Structure 1
Amino acid sequence: MIHVNTLQLLSEDTLLSAMEHASAEDFAKLEDVERKGLGTPATRAGMIEKLVRSGFVERKKKQLLPTEKGTELIKVMPDTLKSARLTAEWEERLGAVERGELSPEDFMAGISAMLTELIKGYQDVTVANAALSASGRTVIGICPRCGKNVVEGKKSFFCEGWNATPPCGFALWKNDRFFTGKRKELTRKVAAALLKNGRVAMTGLFSEKKGVLYDATVVMEDTGEKFVRFKLEFDPKTPKKKGN
């Protein structure tokens, strides 16, 4: 018999308890520190409410569930900021300031250095760890028509300028016949390459006419019309050398 362990969803009570005991081992090492875990008894409930209001978490009956926006945020957030250990480390430094072992200037310099390092390390976000737009959607590239973000939706990768004045109608449809007819998907990775380079090399394309597979480069041709067009380019064949 195979036993499968599933993740247990959190209620508000279990999340509050988890916040209280987060990184307990790290806090146990600290002396003369009143604060334990994430937040304080007076602020933890407010932190959860802020997550709900910001659209990162939603309530379903008694359970708290991450939204798509919340899931994408976790993907792009540095591991350092996702660990409660960071809170313990800064509490330890605050204690050192209180005891006169660390100057306030050095404390603030440490925060500044950490922020600089985080910004430096996470300026470029890959498609695998996609960035978030202001709407909370996954950003995969820049619109070739208006320069706004192109984000991922359920059925397409579309420009966030769709509701601007004038509106931008740029979109790459996931069910575009050009790709489905070749038994390929217009994935996030493919769409990102098209937006960045205007082309993407693909292998295993299916020929409906000949019933065979082939490799080619898909080139995006956007003329500003309602639908984006695509064409194929093939590498020139190397001529065979004639025998002497």
Structure 2
Amino acid sequence: QTSGVATTTRIRPTLLAAMEHASRCVEDKNLKAALDDDESHSGGIGTPATRADTIEKLVRSKLVERKGRQLHATTEGERLTDVVEPRLKDVLLTARMEQALSDVEHGKRGPSEVMDMFHREALRIPADATANLKADAVTRTANTDAQEWGDCPRCGQPVRKTGRMWQCSTNKTEKTKDGKWATTAGCGWKMFARIAGKTITDQAARRLLAGQSVTLKGFTSKSGKKFDAAIRIDKERGTAFDFDR
């Protein structure tokens, strides 16, 4: 247990530090103090023991993946963050919850009142996510219908952007029993927006789909080193590094 946490800390010091010092993202003095209070609880988000475990759970759930010494959101992880209500992704929510618990401890609020508040907050999560998912689907459908980015390098049909990827307009996907998305029809070609820690812009995507090589700066290798390289369209993998340039 101890060695595992130590290794995790060495691999992800920036993320763990951000969780520990989350109050730096809060301007309200009272909420900042509630989040930093280490007398009643460990300051920040989680505790020294649970922070590393939280990250490991994200990796095991395939919402996050390791690439060398870095962590990157998977496609599923990005989809989840897209549909989660913004207030649930704001550190202010944690700060307000810690303040409510502190109020209970000091007799300013009743335990049942705070528990009811937490219960109502939890009940809102599925409904909000469903509403955001529908809105996201409408947006992605509108984007798909509105723009064509070029011809699919595998089958020649139009390429469209859906969410955080470009893919052949013939592709159809369905969610499998294990929660993953699988291509059930179409040629299957797709190009993800992130390659080796670098995000492909819309402008770069258009150039790639026009058959050009595009040189980008700031890729990250598996060992964590930065490098610059040219990329090109690949029929099988979406994109490939063009080291001949």
TM-score by length of 2: 0.48
**Structure richer in helix, relative to its length:** 2
TM-score by length of 1: 0.49
